[in-house]
Amino acid sequence: MMARTLEGDNIDHIELDDLLLTKDHFTMDALKDYSDMVYSFFTGEGAKYYIGVEERNSLSKEEYEDKVFVDFVNFAMDYSRQHPEKKFIIDGIWIYLYFDENPCDEEGDAERQGNSSGQETDVRKRSQKLSAR
């Protein structure tokens, strides 16, 4: 992933694919090491999404997959504005599948870079919430 190749002390790299079935892949301690933003999401307003495959099988796509990405990206916008000392890179095609607007279309936003798995976006400078489809 291109996001993982960028270097710096205050860069948080988040791959949206890691938001699915998180409980099967990350303990809470591992989430804290992975990203303060992701940890804050799963211990706060996104706690209901910290599930594994067994719990996922009891939910519809609309209850889980269609909401986790939208809720996280909106959370990420707010979180990144509260932490201007850090740079956040969100990597994943999900942004473009679940939102009508491109997070980088407005003047002043960071540029986006494409890669084979999707797109990367620095969400810190986004001034308004995205409108979910």
Strand boundaries in 5-132, DSSP class E:
11-15, 87-91, 113-115, 118-122
pTM: 0.71
Q: How far apart are CA 76 and CA 82, in angstroms?
A: 10
Report the half-sphere exposure of 18 (CA within 13 A, side-chain side): 18
pLDDT at position 129: 36
pLDDT at position 65: 84
Mean of per-residue pLDDT scores for the chain = 75
Q: How far apart are CA 112 and CA 115, in angstroms?
A: 10
pLDDT of 24 above 70: yes
Q: How far apart are CA 67 and CA 98, in angstroms?
A: 9
